[in-house]
Amino acid sequence: MSVGHEFKVDSPIVIDRILSRNLEKCSEQLRNEILPDTTPVPFFGDFENATIVSVGINPSSEEFPKIGNDRRLSHLSDLDLPRDYYQKGLSSMSNTQALSISKSLLTYFETNPYRDWFDLAEIAINGSGATYFKNKSVSNQLNIACHVDIFPWSTKQYSQLTTGIKQEFYEENLEFFVSYLKSDLVEEVVILGSTVKDIMKKCFRDNKVPAIFHPQEFQSTNSKFEVGNILLGTKKLKYSFLSKGPSARYLKPPEKQQIHFAFSDWVKNLRLSL
């Protein structure tokens, strides 16, 4: 079977990732960092058809609003699972419940995406000729993109996690993360932020995944732009990199938007010149 065809909404590799039972092997401290009443988010959007993938750190708590009629993604309580499932459970989620979560991930951008973050990310990936939104893909002849995070659980702010907990998260999700990037369908990754790139390089290196970044072009403005290739084992992936992504701190929304438009235009123009 082609590797790319393994990542479907009901594929065992996807359902097993959502069931999250591998967390039983992890420390209690790690499980306690996962926010109550949240579900794992291995993908945002149409991962079955995406050729371009943006990469972030982990899902924001804003993906799980407490107001019931403003749901973006499935909450544990929506599935009649305990809010502290990751701390005390890990065995009661059924395949049917996991499939329900998987389906909600597939249609994320057609329902209620977290606009404050993904509207900026959408600008960035447009430069690579891609969009998260299916209707925009058809009308503008853009490729379908999805988003993945280095670890798929919502936690408190990344900078507040201890070094040991960060390392556990990298290791716990690394196999799944790498497997998806190596799938046949994925051609390019868009790395949204300096911290994201640093984590990717570190988690690959520390876990002896043969990933090598080869930058070809870069531009320094008020944000660094870069394109190149990642040798991920035997697979070569294109990548583009924006040092100040949607999560950049100390920047006001207009400044972030300006940077993302500049990055998108730079990538687009660079492609046209090649």
Q: Model confidence over 99-119: pLDDT tens digits?
A: 999 999 999 999 889 999 999
Is the per-residue pLDDT at 130 higher than 50? yes
Tell me what pLDDT residue 36 has.
Answer: 92
Is the per-residue pLDDT at 155 higher than 50? yes
Contact 240, 226 (CB under 8 A): yes
Is the per-residue pLDDT at 3 higher than 50? no
Domain ranges of the chain: 3-273
Read off the pLDDT band of 272 (50, 70, 90).
Answer: confident
Q: How far apart are CA 222 and CA 241, in angstroms?
A: 14
Top-level class of domain 3-273 = alpha beta
> Average pLDDT in the 27-47 region?
94
Read off the pLDDT band of 269 (50, 70, 90).
Answer: very high
Read off the pLDDT band of 129 (50, 70, 90).
Answer: very high
Is the per-residue pLDDT at 137 higher than 90? no
Tell me what pLDDT residue 68 has.
Answer: 64
> Average pLDDT in the 263-267 region?
95
pLDDT digits (tens, 9 = 90+) for 40-73: 999 999 999 999 999 999 999 999 987 666 788 8
Is the per-residue pLDDT at 1 higher than 50? no
Read off the pLDDT band of 140 (50, 70, 90).
Answer: confident
- State the CB neighbour count (10 A cutoff) for residue 163: 7
* Separation in Å, CA 97 to CA 101, 149, 216, 232: 6, 21, 44, 33
Q: Strand 224-232 to strand 211-220: parallel, antiparallel, or no bridges (unpaired)?
A: antiparallel
Q: How far apart are CA 133 and CA 248, in angstroms?
A: 23
* Separation in Å, CA 103 to CA 14, 86, 116, 145, 150: 11, 21, 23, 16, 20
Q: Strand 52-56 to strand 235-242: parallel, antiparallel, or no bridges (unpaired)?
A: unpaired
Across all residues in the chain, what is the average pLDDT? 91
Is the per-residue pLDDT at 254 higher than 90? yes
Is the per-residue pLDDT at 139 higher than 50? yes
Is the per-residue pLDDT at 166 higher than 70? yes
pLDDT digits (tens, 9 = 90+) for 200-250: 999 899 888 999 999 988 887 789 999 999 999 899 999 999 999 999 988
Is the per-residue pLDDT at 264 higher than 90? yes
Is the per-residue pLDDT at 163 higher than 50? yes
Read off the pLDDT band of 2 (50, 70, 90).
Answer: very low
Q: How far apart are CA 41 and CA 39, in angstroms?
A: 6
